[in-house]
Amino acid sequence: MSIKARWDIFCVVVDNFGDIGVTWRLARQLSVEHGQHVRLWVDDLETFAQLCPGTLATADQQWHEGVEVRHWCKNWPGAEPADVVIEAFACQLPTDYIAAMAESDRRILWLNLEYLSAEDWVVGCHALPSMQADGLQKYFFFPGFEQGTGGLIREGDLIARREAFQRDPHLREAFLQSLDVDPLPGACLLSLFAYENEAVSEWLDTLAAGARPTQLLVPVGRVLGDVARWLGVDRLQAGDRHSRGALQIAVLPFVTQNQYDMLLWSCDLNAVRGEESFIRAQWAGRPLVWHIYPQEEGAHWDKLNAFLDLYLRDLDPAAADALSAFWRAWNEGVGSGAAWAGLLEHEVALREHAERWTHRQVANGDLAGKLMLFHADWLAATPGQP
């Protein structure tokens, strides 16, 4: 039986949409699927409004899809702590809120929701407690790809909706036409969402020179500057269309999270970045390439290599080598053209593998469900909990 509780999720918007994208999905799922009362505290409502149409960027309090959305401003307005408090991605709770938790006569579960990683130490650190100076205890909750982690965020009906969409070509065509994209018969359909990336130019050269027609769908974002330079234009904006050789490029407007899911489901391969789009591309059951956020001293390579070690584990060695080569070229900014040509030789094997990986992750459970179970187990281990 589901335990009804109040949840506070705190999010600082970093790098545009990654952190808020994950926390907004989590807040909705806890509310809609698990019947929890959820407050989502967001410091940047203007960015949030792009993910959640109808949001008032000037409102201190509002409700969307069953979630109470609060503006987390510099002058903390004061609020009674919830039963479960999630500090998303080490965003640091307000000092007064922590003090209120310490002074409360209720036991409050405090969780630090960490960034996603496939590194092998994650399993050992997941759900470990950390005693704080004020006597409170905080637990570290790690999303992940293996049993013994917090899993990936995934709505309960996501895979069924995705499979129904991909089985019906009319749904795909109607969705693409809603974006003013007419799919070309026999063309390779790709999506591109990345940080600024030196690999893009050589990749576009290869696509344009290819024998097979390719349609590239580019949602508005940071990579548009690289595409504009390759095209020799000053700037690109939503609605722009360009062609060169075998390549057609369509610049898409910013889309909602549900629309972005359908975009990923529609494509033959998706180039994604960060964490939010990286997770959603895996649920699409299609090959992908991940532009990981660069970190100082190359620390991001450890994370990328750790994921590849897991992802490629049961893939044919030749296909695994080809995919690995393209991912490395994509993130190094050199050699993406030749690596892409090698990747195309294993297109069928990579699609079949992407589908198998999706179902392997489904078997690992989902983030919201595992949070619910952790809370229930925590309550059971603390007799006398009010």
What residues pair up with 188 in beta bridges, in sequence order?
214
Helix 18-32 crosses helix 276-283 at what angle (to 10 degrees)? 60
Closest CA to 319 of 292, 283, 291, 356: 356
Catalytic one of 202, 226, 275, 366: 275
Provide the H-helix boundaries in 148-194.
Answer: 158-167, 169-178
Q: Is residue 8 annotated as part of the catalytic site, yes or no?
A: no
Secondary structure element (H or E) that encloses residue 188, with its range: strand 188-192
Q: Which tokens belong to 82?
A: 């919830």
Is residue 34 within 8 A of residue 2, CB to CB? The reply is yes
Instruction: Name the DSSP class of 293.
Output: P
For residues 313 and 207, give the distance between their C-alpha atoms in angstroms, rounded to a whole number: 29
Spatial contact of 162 and 261, defined as CB atoms under 8 Å apart? yes
| Per annotation, catalytic residue among 19, 87, 202, 276 | 19
Listed in sequence order, the residues at least 6 apart from 245 whose beta carbon sits closer than 8 Å to its beta carbon are: 207, 208, 209, 210
Task: Please indicate whether residue 275 is annotated as part of the active site.
Answer: yes
Sheet strands side by side (includes 6-11)? 61-64, 67-71, 37-42, 6-11, 84-88, 109-113, 137-141, 129-131
Is there a contact between 293 and 195 (Cβ–Cβ < 8 Å)?
Answer: yes
CA angle 120, 123, 126 (to 5 degrees): 135
H/E element holding 248? strand 247-252
Whether the CB-CB separation of 386 and 47 falls below 8 Å is answered with no
Catalytic site residues?
Answer: 19, 275
